[in-house]
Amino acid sequence: MTKETFKAFLVTQTESGQFHTGIAEKTWDDLPAGDVLIRVHYSSLNYKDALSATGNPGVTKKFPHVPGIDAAGTVVTSAAPQFQENQEVIVTGFDLGMNTWGGFAEYIRVPAEWVVPLPQGLTLRESMILGTAGFTAGLCTEALEQNSITPAEGDILVTGATGGVGSIAVSLLAKLGYSVVAVTGKQSQNSYLISLGASSVISREEVDDKSGKPLLKECWAGAVDTVGGNILATAVKRAKYSGCVVACGLVSGADLVTTVYPFILRGVRLIGIDSAKCWGSKRLAIWEKLARDWKPANLEKMVTVITLEELPEKIDAILKGETVGRVLVALAG
């Protein structure tokens, strides 16, 4: 194997248990085993990446480590016949950036089963503005559609709307004709959410009910909840009869304190979304929709572009809830 060198954002752990980050020079031989070697053009920063970069054991257990659960680039070598040299591809989810070295590096090597051909209609840059966040928003949209939540049924609530998944969900649902009620704790970003297609914007406090009531006034036909905790419980209690609430995040907490009343008196459905282990044809189908009918028209409105060297500042910001939209990491191209 060649000793080709490349830059990587490396997280190391000292003997005392402290974690440090920095740009390191690595070779192809340092990469894990896998079928496909990819030159990474773009990655993106997600909340899970920030947890990995700060040593959260629930995400990453082995160090030194390269985070980055998203990567898009070109195939360098492939032992899998379905992928050819110079082919443009996407890798998101599975174990990438968790305990397998990820996209915050100029090269990755992964199993062929993790790789998706870049669909016609997307550039590598656009695919990483979407990234895991966009793929998750796509899965949430599919869940609403599969549960018969059409635009005619009523408003769709999107919590954590200025975040990565939230921003794309607002834009995607609005493009498909839904009336979107965006929730944010950042009132300075109201105009940003309206520009993405939100019909209205409400404060976080309006969906953080602390009354203890098992049911609240019916308000929305569906919800995409990216934050969890009591806000998710409130979304369930305020859903309309036969409504559907889709849960995909937990930044506000992993506990869900509610009752069975919304489910047995209103027929509310609570659907969980996991984007990491979505396999095969379904993964490709969602990406193809995101490249065509579901492609947000305003991707560039929601992106900030950084380099590997600028990651520490943005990691700190995303952990503090200070980022808006998507953070694209440019590595090549």
- List the CATH number of the domain containing 53: 3.90.180.10
68 and 180 within one domain: no
pLDDT of residue 333: 52
pLDDT of residue 279: 81
Q: Examine residue 280 and state whether it is found in any structural domain, yes or no.
A: no
pLDDT of residue 138: 98
CB 183 within 8 A of CB 158: yes
* Cα–Cα distance, 20 to 2 (Å, whole number): 28
pLDDT of residue 225: 98
58 and 11 within one domain: yes
309 and 268 within one domain: no
104 and 220 within one domain: no
pLDDT of residue 252: 86
314 and 255 within one domain: no
Q: Which of 253, 272, 291 is the last residue of a domain?
A: 272
Each residue's pLDDT expressed in tens, for the chain with a length of 333 residues: 456 899 999 999 998 889 999 999 999 999 999 999 999 999 999 999 999 999 999 999 999 999 999 999 999 999 999 999 999 999 999 999 999 999 999 999 999 999 999 999 999 999 999 999 999 999 999 999 999 999 999 999 999 999 999 999 999 999 999 999 999 999 899 999 999 999 999 999 999 999 999 999 999 999 999 999 999 999 999 999 999 999 999 888 899 999 999 999 999 999 999 999 988 789 999 999 999 999 998 899 999 999 999 999 999 999 999 999 999 999 985
CB 315 within 8 A of CB 45: yes
Which of 198, 271, 193, 211 has the alpha carbon at shortest distance from 239?
Answer: 271
CB 12 within 8 A of CB 66: no
User: Which H or E run contains 312?
Assistant: helix 311-319
pLDDT of residue 1: 46
267 and 168 within one domain: yes
* Cα–Cα distance, 37 to 251 (Å, whole number): 33
Give the count of domains, the chain.
2
188 and 142 within one domain: yes
Beta strand residue intervals within 168-238, DSSP E: 180-184, 200-203, 220-225
* Cα–Cα distance, 127 to 124 (Å, whole number): 5
Task: Give residue 312's domain range.
Answer: 5-118+299-330
* Cα–Cα distance, 138 to 182 (Å, whole number): 17
Q: What angle do CA 96, 300, 115 make, to 5 degrees?
A: 25
User: Which H or E run contains 115?
Assistant: strand 115-117
